[in-house]
Amino acid sequence: MTQEAAFTATIEKDQRIEPRDWMPDGYRKTMIRQIAQHAHSEIIGMQPEGAWITRAPSLRRKAILLAKVQDEAGHGLYLYSAAETLGADRGDLTRRLIEGRQKYSSIFNYPTLTFADVGVIGWLVDGAAICNQVPLCRSSFGPYARAMIRICKEESFHQRQGYELLMTMMRGTEAQRDMVQDAVNRWWWPSLMMFGPPDAESPNTAQSMAWKIKRHTNDELRQRFVDMSVPQASALGVTLPDPDLRWNPEREHHDFGEIDWSELKRVISGDGPLNAERIEHRRRADEDGEWVRSAAAAHAAKKQGVRG
């Protein structure tokens, strides 16, 4: 059997491709692209909520938020390790991010204006992340699929903490309820954009589905997320900001309004509300951490020298 035939047979049998297995260059490139974008999203994604750690309204909320943001750092590092199994270099990936040569999720370019945004990120952003990532636990590349299992468990906890925070605020004052509704109004549409462009305009989906990297299309997952969110919104007592949102008994799904795709394009291409700030923050953190990385590398080299 040729190497290519062995690769195809592994995919067909729903088995995993492992780092030392032969794989087409395109598969390796696609996996590095997706895993790196995902890792960058986790690390940049620490910023919107991180901004509220010093302003959390109670010690309990502060401890929860601190733990969540730390989890996101862990997910990022875990994913960079998965990319390294494909021959990528972590420092190089970070440089590509800072220089705007690699993407991260559009959602993290929006501001967190009130503490209700922390709850809504947990509910909607982590909710969308779970919807997208649970099927990735069956993705064909072993290290990525295994990383997803652990990450999804933590994301479920993140989603519940967001929902619980919002329930608490909804039981509070009128002003708190207004704050929640305002945050939902601002985050709903960007959350739908997290799933990517519509299928007809998604250049990567067909090949990624054939390689079983992706298990569902962008539109399928977006629909799943809408269907999941509607009853949650009603239990919470908030309105989703879409006058066209209604149950369609024939399709057995919710119909929803047209997404502003020009906004997604703008945000992906670097012109969202906070793209420049997010990257500048990341660049500064990378520069500030340089001495730690050099010290760790020098220490490791010294220890190796002693052993050798």
List residues binding ligand FAQ (CB under 6 A): 33-34, 37-38, 41-42, 45, 72, 103, 105-106, 121, 125-126, 129, 132, 193-197, 202-205, 208, 214, 218, 268
Whole-Å CA distances, 291 to 43, 80, 284, 298: 19, 20, 13, 10
Give exposure, 93-132, as e/b (b: 16+ Cβ within 10 Å).
Answer: bbeebbeeebbbbbbbbbebebbbbbbbbbbbbbbbbbbb
Q: How far is the CB of 294 from ligand FAQ (least distance, A)?
A: 28
CA 260 to chain CA centroid, nearest Å: 20
Beta strands in the chain (DSSP E): 246-248, 253-255
Query: Residue 213 Cβ, how far from ligand FAQ at the closest point, in Å?
Result: 8
Rg (CA), the chain: 21
Q: Which CB sits closer to ligand FAQ, 210 or 297?
A: 210
Nearer to ligand FAQ, 177 or 186 (CB): 186
Question: Which of 266-295 are b and which e, b meaning 16 or more Cβ less than 10 Å from the residue's Cβ?
Answer: bbbeeebebbeebbebbeeeeeeeeeeeee
Q: Residue 308 in 3-state DSSP?
A: coil
Of residues 148 and 240, the one with the C-beta less far from ligand FAQ: 148
CA-CA distance, 114 to 12, in Å (whole number)?
Answer: 48
CB of 197 to ligand FAQ, least distance (A): 5
**Which residues does 282 contact at the CB level (< 8 Å), separation at least 6?**
43, 44, 47, 94, 97, 98
Closest contact distance (angstroms) between CB of 305 and ligand FAQ is 39
CB of residue 50 vs ligand FAQ: minimum separation in angstroms? 10
Looking at the Cβ atoms of 177 and 264, the one nearer to ligand FAQ is: 264
Query: At closest approach, how far in Å is the CB of 242 from ligand FAQ?
Result: 18
Rank residues 7 and 211 by Cβ distance to ligand FAQ and give the closer one: 211
Which residue's CB is nearer to ligand FAQ, number 97 or number 177? 97
Our CB check for ligand FAQ shows the closer of 177 and 214 to be: 214
Contact assessment for residue 240 and residue 230, using Cβ atoms and an 8 Å cutoff = yes
- Comparing C-alpha atoms, which of 73, 78, 80, 100 is closest to residue 32? 80
Residue showing the smallest CB distance to ligand FAQ in the complex: 45
- Judged by CB, which is closer to ligand FAQ: 128, or 179? 128
Smallest separation (angstroms) from ligand FAQ to the CB of 264: 6
Q: Under the phi-then-psi rule, with left for phi > 0, alpha for psi from -120 to 50, and beta for the rest, what region is 248?
A: beta
* Residue 296: CB minimum distance to ligand FAQ, A: 25
| Residue position matching structure tokens 């708190």 | 176
